[in-house]
Amino acid sequence: MNLFNIFIRIFIFPGFLFMLILALFLHWLDRKLIARFQGRVGPPWYQPLADLVKLFAKEDILPSGTNQYFAAILPLISFASVLTASFYLPIAIQSAPSFQGDFIVLMFLLSMPSLMYFLAGWVTQGVYSIIGGNRSLLQYFSYEVLFLLAMSGTAIASGSWALTDIRLTQIKESPFIFPQIIGFFLSLAGLIGKLKREPFDIPKAKSEVIAGALTEFSGKKLALWYLTIQLQTVVGLSFLIHCFFSGLWQMNTIIGFFIFLLFLIILQCALSAISAIYARLRIDQLIHLNWHIFIPLTLLHNIYILLK
Amino acid sequence: MKNLLLYIRSFFYFLPNILEALFSKPETIAYPAVTHKPPAGYRGSVRIIAENCIGCGLCVRDCPSAALKLEKDSKQSFRLIHYRDRCTSCGQCELSCKFNSIYLDNTYEEAFSKRKAFIEVLVNKTENK
């Protein structure tokens, strides 16, 4: 791999530019689908890009008394960690650098934005920000465990913490979606919590805490936050597809790439449908659902995989 | 466990609804070009049948937002003035009127750029000499 290839890989495909386009496309699809589900018209295709450009052009204001450097570095860290996660994830056509334990690294990188989100609420000192940040931390303790446990079912079944081995096992045997369908739905629930989408959008509940921890943010920083969440959707869904569906297509082929995109779109449609159907859960309902139902179910599921 | 089954059931309960919305026309209309037809019984602007009005002042007495004003010179000569900026289209005047004179129609486009346009003389009766 020479320098030019590395440049292409990091900045163009499947690095920054491709992920950005994919993230904006999926965000548009999400908004359009939810609008159509609710009987509205929905935005035109360029709306996410227009929003982003508008936010980048706007004045950047923070409340007085806020640590400016800290507030500026938080969205940068979360954006960078999600982008790094995308680098470790094999996006269908290009193999990623794989090593033993990159599954855990990916998990860690994907959970960074949630911690940064909490700190953002803490730093900006607004009432809504602090409540939103605390709520996000509260939610973090429930879905993160669920997501890790449910996703680790695939690692247990393949006997390795490397993403490549998870894929190779699926090619050898069968895609994990068939034996681990419960695990798939549980990890989808965990991902929804991670992305703070309905019905787990407690940290940014509009009618209760305005925009949660991001209430005081504006301009470039807010744009970066939005971009982070959109990228996180793409990376999280790709992670899910890689762990449960890969093996259905050949690596490094155009057809495989399009099948991957198709799965991405289908899963995004599922997320949108869930957003449109469910109302927001209360905090106690979320905790009850996670710790009393989902996590015991996941543990039982993992024991079943271990014994198999 | 009961909750989980409830959540799963509600997903399949509402799925036909959202799919129906997805494949049907949006409810949104291109407003200034296409106007929305108000439903029957819609309370819009205050209108009057001036011949029926005898200037009894029942509507003025009952109007909760003081949007009506009666200027009375004599029994035959009076003016009924309607301040549309105060009117909340509650329909009390229509209920109070004993002579089927004042009523609400279904016009909902009430926007004016000048304050004077809000003041409307509903009845202007002068004594016949």
Residue range A120-153, pLDDT digits in tens = 888 888 888 899 888 888 888 888 899 999 998 8
Assess if residue A11 is contained within a domain: no
- Consecutive H or E run containing A157: helix A127-158
B chain contacts of residue A39, beta-carbon cutoff 8 Å: 21, 24, 26-28
Q: What is the pLDDT of residue A233?
A: 92
Supply B62's token pair. 């009952």
Residue of A nearest to B19 (CA): A37
Assess if residue A163 is contained within a domain: yes
Assess if residue B64 is contained within a domain: yes
A98: confidence class by pLDDT, cuts 50, 70, 90:
confident
Assess if residue A5 is contained within a domain: no
Number of domains in chain B: 1
- Consecutive H or E run containing B104: strand B102-104
Gap from B9 CA to chain A (nearest CA, Å): 11
Assess if residue B25 is contained within a domain: no
Which residues 198-217 of chain A have a CB within 8 Å of chain B? Answer: none
Assess if residue B67 is contained within a domain: yes
Q: Does B4 touch chain A (CB under 8 A)?
A: yes
As to burial, measured by CB atoms within 10 angstroms (0-12 exposed, 13-18 middle, 19+ buried), residue A27 is buried
Gap from A55 CA to chain B (nearest CA, Å): 27
Which residues 14-43 of chain A have a CB within 8 Å of chain B? Answer: 33, 35-42
Tell me, what's the ipTM? 0.74
Assess if residue A218 is contained within a domain: yes
> What residue numbers bound the domain in which A105 lies?
18-307
Contact predicate A35/A41, CB 8 Å: yes
| DSSP bridge pairs for B119 | B83
Assess if residue B34 is contained within a domain: no
Mean pLDDT, rounded, for A85-108: 78
Number of domains in chain A: 1
Gap between the Cα atoms of A70 and A58, Å rounded: 20
Supply B85's token pair. 């900026």
Assess if residue A195 is contained within a domain: yes
Q: Where are the beta strands (DSSP E) in chain A?
A: none
Gap from B31 CA to chain A (nearest CA, Å): 13
Q: What is the pLDDT of residue B128?
A: 66
Gap from B12 CA to chain A (nearest CA, Å): 9
Q: Does B16 touch chain A (CB under 8 A)?
A: no
Supply B47's token pair. 């209108």
Q: What is the pLDDT of residue A267?
A: 93
Buried b (16+ CB within 10 A) or exposed e, A68-102: eeebbbbbeebbebbbebbbbbbbbbeebebeeeb
Cβ separation A273–B21 shorter than 8 A: no
Contact predicate A151/A184, CB 8 Å: no
Assess if residue A105 is contained within a domain: yes
| DSSP bridge pairs for A232 | none
Q: Does A274 touch chain B (CB under 8 A)?
A: yes
Find the Cα–Cα–Cα–Cα dihedral B84, B90, B96, B101, rounded to 10°: 50
* Residue from A29, A30, A36, A277 to probe the interface with B (highest B Cβ count within 10 Å): A277
pLDDT at residue A34 tops 90 = yes
Q: What is the pLDDT of residue A260?
A: 87
Assess if residue A13 is contained within a domain: no
Q: Does A287 touch chain B (CB under 8 A)?
A: no
Cβ separation B18–A278 shorter than 8 A: no
Assess if residue B59 is contained within a domain: yes
Assess if residue B112 is contained within a domain: yes
Assess if residue B1 is contained within a domain: no
Contact predicate A124/A60, CB 8 Å: no
The alpha helices in A159-218, defined as continuous H runs, are 163-172, 181-195, 206-209
Residue of A nearest to B23 (CA): A36
> What residue numbers bound the domain in which B61 lies?
46-125
B chain contacts of residue A41, beta-carbon cutoff 8 Å: 26, 28
- Name every residue whose Cβ is closer than 8 Å to that of residue A86 and which is 6 or more positions away in sequence: A14, A15, A19, A231, A234, A235, A238
Single-letter amino acid code for the residue at A20? L
Mean pLDDT, rounded, for A253-281: 89
- Consecutive H or E run containing B70: strand B68-72
Gap between the Cα atoms of A43 and A226, Å rounded: 17
CATH code: domain of residue B120: 3.30.70.3270
Gap between the Cα atoms of A84 and A123, Å rounded: 24
Q: What is the pLDDT of residue A79?
A: 92
Cβ separation A37–B22 shorter than 8 A: yes
Gap from A278 CA to chain B (nearest CA, Å): 8
Q: Which of A91, A67, A73 is nearest to A15 (CA)?
A: A91
Q: Does B26 touch chain A (CB under 8 A)?
A: yes
Contact predicate A143/A194, CB 8 Å: yes
- Name every residue whose Cβ is closer than 8 Å to that of residue A282 and which is 6 or more positions away in sequence: A202
CA distances from A67 to A77, A123, A124, A130, A135 (A): 16, 7, 8, 15, 22
- Name every residue whose Cβ is closer than 8 Å to that of residue A194 and which is 6 or more positions away in sequence: A110, A111, A114, A143, A144, A147, A232, A236
Mean pLDDT, rounded, for A90-98: 66
A chain contacts of residue B10, beta-carbon cutoff 8 Å: 277-278
Mean pLDDT, rounded, for A27-43: 92
Per-residue pLDDT of chain B (129 residues; tens, 9 = 90+): 777 888 889 889 999 999 998 898 888 888 888 888 888 888 888 889 988 888 888 999 999 999 999 998 888 889 999 998 888 889 899 999 999 999 998 887 777 888 888 888 888 888 765
Q: What is the pLDDT of residue B16?
A: 92
Q: What is the pLDDT of residue B129?
A: 55
Q: What is the pLDDT of residue B4?
A: 82
A chain contacts of residue B7, beta-carbon cutoff 8 Å: 278, 289
Candidates A277, A285, A289; nearest CB to B18: A277
Mean pLDDT, rounded, for A22-41: 92
Assess if residue B54 is contained within a domain: yes
Residue of A nearest to B1 (CA): A293
Assess if residue A9 is contained within a domain: no
The model's pTM: 0.80
Q: Which of A247, A78, A224 is nearest to A163 (CA)?
A: A247
CA distances from B48 to B67, B107, B116 (A): 14, 14, 19
Lowest mean pLDDT among A51-55, A189-193, B115-119: B115-119
Contact predicate A89/A163, CB 8 Å: yes
Contact predicate A155/A161, CB 8 Å: yes
Supply A74's token pair. 């938080």
Find the Cα–Cα–Cα–Cα dihedral B102, B103, B108, B112, rounded to 10°: 0
Gap from B38 CA to chain A (nearest CA, Å): 19
Gap between the Cα atoms of A271 and A257, Å rounded: 21
